[in-house]
């Protein structure tokens, strides 16, 4: 049974009498121990998807539709209390900004312990021992000393490790990391990524890695999901997607990456901007920027079709090409 | 940390000096003098001059100030011209009453204000928010003496739960403290609410939810602790204000206290008493602010480090 | 094909934005309603009052509320309702005038302190801090004692007691605006310091001051009542709510309405100003925090 099965996930916001759906028709699956990279430009809905899976959308006033099956249960149908038990225990979330994600007036060690005590029902001392163990596993230097520190006394990399420690403390089955390394410098980034790789390999934790950095995805992920303007446009095994991207957007993204040995000259960029949620065009949302746009792309929205090997793509051009083969 | 405390304490000295001068000047700007209260009808100019000289009031102002300061430094706050008692005695007699009233009122303001502020922030823009805010604001919208009178009407006259006036036992303290405390509650509730709302929109709250903590835990344990800082700051200042503002309450309830002592002395132009009381009350505000700053520096780990 | 989002709206004037945001804020609307009623009552009191506020009726002293005297009569047989309506006028004037004085003094001092900085700033800020640390009741009390009792003195005294918070607010705003580009530009055009300060910087600093002033009106009204209670305020027969409450104290057990009604009137009025002020905070997105202690 899959670890996570997301079907037709959509999120809706209403403000000033207008309703928008920043993400819709998101469907993908994850197996235990798998690393899925969710990639897209800023504003494509990656964080929103993560929040929706975690049940955090109502917090910001949104409504969620669709199905999120985790461990056999539909998370969206759980009560607030049941979801609280899932959050931080079975599914852990690492939010976007390690610099500001920790409570400034509590010691970091205590913040780890808090989660442990809540979900594992340990007493103070057992929880502290466990917290120190976890900190060691995450290669935090001098765990006993760091335990007593306050967030402002730690570097960005250390803070991120603490946030990860909070996340994995209760042995989650799934870890969702929202841009975990964007705010950190490159060397630290590499360390954190290595950490993630270890966690998934050694502990069998599934990892949903949200990022806009294709390089990171290439290093760590087994599968990739490409988001554009709130829609899932391509999904599949990392190697096949990188080698043979099926969706024009994916192709364009991969083209944008500079590589050693390329000709000197201008870098390719994708013309235009990602449409905002209150301004999605009719038809395929990429139609304004797609080099292969056809008549049907403007009038109809392509559906996600299943391909061999579990891959998926939503594109009329691809459908046409496949039909003619 | 201790160097910070020491530095701040030293600052209190020049502040005290300036306040004593300002108060002295202001008092002597008030027309009239205490001698008028002492003289009976039919006194002559000679009597007047005699009394003036007796109390040293015929000297120039700077000289008078000098005498006062010298006396103060040796522990003598002077003699009340009207009451003919040492001022120090008068203050020490009245102080406990005012202090009790002040502290209990402060406690009421604090707890009531914080509770209303938290409730109001947690239930933002619902009926509960509106009701809580209006209750909190009631203390601010009417003079404390009016609240006191209404309380007397309801609880003393109609219900007979508390005495109308007097001092000495706890029962006497309740109504006056509530009357003063309600006033402070409004301000604290407002500040708490604003601070809580600000904290609720911070990033770290997201991780708290992601951890699986309940809303209850998040608000009361984390958000509140963060929101507490500005509230603490205000609290220190409130003490001084309460002590000063207690004057009307002391009158309504016929309680002895620094406030009513000050007022009577003011009317009778009893300079030494007014001087001492005003300085005392003002320094209370300043010391209150000082203590609050120290507590603040200690309570916020970020600030604590700056001063290590 | 349009990737340009439809955000090119016509430029809305700040007043329209304020009104629009206010309409979503229930408490604010209630506040505005109360203030508007107060202003109307203040203006039209002579037309509204059933009796003259001065008319004494010794045969009808301390009468309970009845059909002929809706809110009862006071110790001289004067109609409470009429006196309370008149009192609205006084409260309004006292509130606005004293806050006006405070704001003007505070703005000038705060602006100079913030703009010129240095030793001037240190001196002025110290003076402001000192004034602020003395409880306003005591300051006002002293000032009235010096000037002499009466409504005008009270207004002046209250005005002089509260200026420091406005000074602090303006100073804070000016400190942050000082380095703005438009200041450089104006200076380059040859404007003198005075012009820059008072024609440009101060008007841009006013939002927290407006909020504080609104709530300040309420505080001033309450302070006037307290001073009246202590014998320093308006003299009879002036029907200020504070004076009514004060003289009514003696009759607390006989005819409590003499104290209750003026108090209720004040409560509603000051509540109105506070609600409106709080709504303004939300609307103007103002952080009502004074600069460092």
Residue A121: pLDDT band with limits 50, 70, 90: confident
Return d(Cα C61, Cα A206) in angstroms, integer.
Answer: 85
Structure tokens at A142: 């001098």
Q: What pLDDT is attached to residue A112? A: 93
pLDDT over 50 (residue C199):
yes
Please provide the average confidence, as pLDDT, over all residues in chain C.
79
Please provide the average confidence, as pLDDT, over all residues in chain A.
85
Structure tokens at C265: 């009137």
Q: What pLDDT is attached to residue C97? A: 94
> Is A295 an interface residue toward C (CB < 8 Å)?
no
| pLDDT mean over B28-39 | 75
- Contact between residue B136 and residue B185 where contact means Cβ atoms under 8 Å apart: yes
Classify each residue of A93-114 as buried b or exposed e, where b means 16 or more C-beta atoms within 10 Å of its C-beta.
bbbbbbbbbbbbbbbbbbbbbb
| pLDDT mean over B261-290 | 82
- Contact between residue A279 and residue A296 where contact means Cβ atoms under 8 Å apart: no
Q: Between chains, do C249 and B252 touch, taking CB under 8 Å as contact?
A: yes
Q: Between chains, do B240 and C288 touch, taking CB under 8 Å as contact?
A: no
Q: What angle do CA C269, C275, C280 make, to 5 degrees?
A: 130
Q: What pLDDT is attached to residue C220? A: 92
Structure tokens at B139: 């203390």
pLDDT over 60 (residue C288):
no
pLDDT over 80 (residue B17):
yes
Return d(Cα A210, Cα A223) in angstroms, integer.
Answer: 12
Q: Between chains, do C135 and B240 touch, taking CB under 8 Å as contact?
A: yes
What are the beta bridge partners of residue A225?
A: A38, A235
Chain A hits for C21, Cβ within 8 Å: none
Classify each residue of C195-233 as buried b or exposed e, where b means 16 or more C-beta atoms within 10 Å of its C-beta.
ebbeebbbeebbbbbebbbbbbbbbbbbbbbbbbbbebb
Residue predicted with more confidence, C277 or C236: C277
Q: What pLDDT is attached to residue B240? A: 66
pLDDT over 70 (residue C49):
yes
Structure tokens at C248: 């009514």
Q: Between chains, do A273 and C3 touch, taking CB under 8 Å as contact?
A: yes
Q: What pLDDT is attached to residue C15? A: 67
Which of A101, A118, A119 is facing B207, going by the closest CB pair?
A101
Chain A hits for C5, Cβ within 8 Å: 275-276, 278-279
Residue C54: pLDDT band with limits 50, 70, 90: confident
Which of A68, A76, A83 lies closest to A28, judged by CA?
A68
Restricting to B residues 156-215, those with a Cβ less than 8 Å away from any Cβ of C are: 157, 190, 194
DSSP 8-state class, residue C72: -
Q: What pLDDT is attached to residue B115? A: 93
Residue predicted with more confidence, B250 or A52: A52
Q: What pLDDT is attached to residue C115? A: 80
Structure tokens at A171: 């042995």
Residue C5: pLDDT band with limits 50, 70, 90: very low
Return d(Cα A54, Cα A68) in angstroms, integer.
Answer: 10
Return d(Cα B106, Cα B83) in angstroms, integer.
Answer: 31
Q: What pLDDT is attached to residue A122? A: 87
- How much of chain C is helix, strand and coil, in % rounded to 5? 70, 0, 30
pLDDT over 60 (residue C10):
no
Query: Residue A315: which residues within 8 A CB-CB, separation 6 or more?
Result: A233, A234, A246, A247, A248, A284, A302
Chain B hits for C138, Cβ within 8 Å: 244, 247, 262, 278, 281-282
> Is C150 an interface residue toward B (CB < 8 Å)?
no
Query: Residue C275: which residues within 8 A CB-CB, separation 6 or more?
Result: B137, C27, C28, C30, C31, C34
Q: Between chains, do A152 and B225 touch, taking CB under 8 Å as contact?
A: no
Residue predicted with more confidence, A283 or B40: A283
One DSSP character per residue, B138-202 reads HHHHS-HHHHHHHHIIIIIIIS--S-SS--SSHHHHHHHHHHHHHHHHHHHHHHHHHHHHHHHTS
Q: What pLDDT is attached to residue C285? A: 63
Q: Between chains, do B203 and A100 touch, taking CB under 8 Å as contact?
A: yes
Out of A3-17, C11-25, C88-102, pick the least confident.
Answer: C11-25
3-state secondary structure of A236: strand
pLDDT tens, position by position, A75-88: 888 888 888 888 88
- Contact between residue A94 and residue A164 where contact means Cβ atoms under 8 Å apart: yes
pLDDT tens, position by position, A9-55: 999 888 777 888 888 888 888 888 899 999 988 778 888 899 999 98
| pLDDT mean over A162-180 | 89
Q: What pLDDT is attached to residue C9? A: 41
pLDDT over 80 (residue C179):
no
> Residue A228 is inside which H or E element, if any?
strand A223-228
pLDDT tens, position by position, B112-142: 999 999 999 888 878 888 888 888 888 888 8
Residue C4: pLDDT band with limits 50, 70, 90: very low
pLDDT over 60 (residue B94):
yes
Preceding omega of C237 cis (within 30 degrees of 0):
yes
Q: What pLDDT is attached to residue C153? A: 85
pLDDT over 90 (residue A274):
no
Residue A97: pLDDT band with limits 50, 70, 90: confident
């Amino acid at each position: 049974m899959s670890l996570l099965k997301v079907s037709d996930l959509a999120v809706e916001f209403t403000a000033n009498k207008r309703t928008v759906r920043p993400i819709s028709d998101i469907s993908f699956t994850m197996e235990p121990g798998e690393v899925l990279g969710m990639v897209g430009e800023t504003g494509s809905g990656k964080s929103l998807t993560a929040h929706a899976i975690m049940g955090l959308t109502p917090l910001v006033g949104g409504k969620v539709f669709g199905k999120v099956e985790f461990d056999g249960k539909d998370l969206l149908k759980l009560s607030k209390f049941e979801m609280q038990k899932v959050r931080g225990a079975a599914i852990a979330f690492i939010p976007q900004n390690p610099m500001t994600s920790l409570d400034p007036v509590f010691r970091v060690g205590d913040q780890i312990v808090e989660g442990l005590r809540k979900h594992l029902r340990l007493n103070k001392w057992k929880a502290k021992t466990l917290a120190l163990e976890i900190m060691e596993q995450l290669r935090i230097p001098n765990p006993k000393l760091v335990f007593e520190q306050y967030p402002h006394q730690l570097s960005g990399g250390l803070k991120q490790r603490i946030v990860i420690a909070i996340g994995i403390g209760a042995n989650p089955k799934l870890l969702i990391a929202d841009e975990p390394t964007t705010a950190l410098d490159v060397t630290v980034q590499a360390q954190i990524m290595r950490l993630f790789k270890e966690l998934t390999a050694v502990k069998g934790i599934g990892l949903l890695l949200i990022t806009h950095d294709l390089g990171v995805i290439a290093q760590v992920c087994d599968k990739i999901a490409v988001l554009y303007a709130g829609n899932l446009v391509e999904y599949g095994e990392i190697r096949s997607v990188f080698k043979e991207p099926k969706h024009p957007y994916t192709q364009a993204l991969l083209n944008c990456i500079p590589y050693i040995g390329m000709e000197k000259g201008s870098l390719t960029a994708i013309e235009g901007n990602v449409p905002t949620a209150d301004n999605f065009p009719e038809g395929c949302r990429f139609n304004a920027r797609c080099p292969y746009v056809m008549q049907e792309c403007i009038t109809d929205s392509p559906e996600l079709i299943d391909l061999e090997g579990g891959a998926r793509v939503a594109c009329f051009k691809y459908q046409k090409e496949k039909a003619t083969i | 940390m201790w160097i910070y405390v020491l530095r701040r304490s030293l600052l209190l000295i020049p502040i005290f000096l300036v306040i004593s001068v300002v108060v002295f000047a202001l008092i002597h700007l008030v027309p009239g003098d205490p001698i008028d209260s002492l003289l009976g009808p039919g006194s002559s100019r000679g009597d007047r001059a005699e009394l003036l000289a007796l109390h040293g009031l015929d000297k120039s102002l700077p000289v008078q100030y000098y005498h006062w300061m010298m006396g103060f430094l040796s522990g003598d706050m002077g003699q009340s011209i009207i009451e003919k008692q040492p001022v120090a005695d008068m203050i020490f007699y009245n102080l406990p009453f005012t202090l009790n009233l002040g502290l209990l009122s402060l406690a009421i303001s604090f707890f009531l204000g914080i509770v209303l502020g938290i409730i109001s922030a947690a239930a933002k823009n619902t009926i509960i928010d509106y009701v809580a805010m209006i209750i909190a604001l009631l203390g601010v919208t009417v003079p404390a003496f009016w609240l006191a009178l209404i309380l007397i009407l309801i609880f003393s006259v109609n219900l007979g739960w508390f005495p109308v006036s007097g001092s000495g036992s706890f029962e006497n303290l309740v109504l006056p403290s509530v009357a003063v405390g309600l006033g402070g509650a409004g301000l604290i509730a407002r500040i708490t609410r604003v601070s809580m709302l600000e904290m609720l929109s911070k990033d770290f709250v997201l991780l708290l939810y992601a951890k699986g903590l309940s809303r209850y835990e998040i608000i009361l344990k984390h958000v509140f602790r963060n929101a507490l800082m500005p509230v603490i700051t205000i609290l220190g200042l409130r003490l001084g204000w309460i002590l000063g503002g207690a004057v009307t309450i002391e009158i309504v309830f016929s309680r002895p206290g620094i406030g009513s002592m000050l007022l009577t002395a003011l009317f009778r132009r009893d300079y030494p008493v007014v001087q001492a009381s005003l300085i005392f009350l003002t320094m209370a505000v300043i010391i209150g602010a000082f203590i609050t700053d120290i507590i603040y520096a200690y309570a916020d780990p970020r600030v604590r480090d700056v001063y290590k | 094909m349009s990737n340009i989002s439809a955000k090119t709206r016509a430029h809305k004037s700040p007043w329209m934005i304020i009104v629009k945001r206010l309409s979503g804020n229930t408490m604010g609307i209630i506040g505005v309603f109360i203030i508007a009623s107060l202003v109307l009552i203040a203006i039209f009191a002579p037309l509204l009052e059933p009796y003259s506020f001065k008319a004494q009726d010794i045969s009808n002293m301390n009468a309970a509320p009845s059909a002929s005297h809706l809110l009862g009569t006071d110790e001289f047989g004067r109609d409470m309702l009429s006196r309370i309506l008149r009192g609205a006028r006084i409260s309004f004037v006292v509130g606005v005038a004293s806050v006006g004085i405070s704001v003007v003094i505070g703005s000038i001092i705060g602006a100079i302190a913030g703009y010129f900085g240095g030793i001037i700033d240190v001196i002025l800020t110290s003076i402001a801090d000192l004034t602020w640390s003395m409880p306003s009741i005591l300051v006002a009390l002293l000032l009235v004692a010096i000037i002499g009792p009466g409504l005008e003195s009270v207004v002046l005294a209250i005005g002089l007691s509260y200026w420091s918070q406005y000074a602090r607010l303006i100073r804070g705003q000016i400190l942050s605006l000082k380095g703005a580009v438009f200041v450089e530009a104006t200076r380059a055009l040859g404007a003198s310091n005075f012009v820059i300060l008072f024609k440009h910087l101060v008007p841009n600093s006013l939002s927290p001051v407006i909020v504080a002033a609104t709530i300040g009106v309420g505080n001033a009204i309450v302070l006037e009542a307290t001073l009246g209670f202590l014998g320093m305020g308006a003299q009879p027969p002036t029907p200020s709510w504070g004076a009514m409450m004060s003289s009514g104290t003696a009759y607390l057990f006989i005819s409590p309405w003499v104290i209750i009604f003026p108090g209720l009137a004040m409560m509603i009025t000051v509540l109105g100003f506070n609600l409106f002020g709080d709504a303004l905070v939300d609307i103007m997105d103002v952080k009502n925090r004074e600069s460092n202690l």
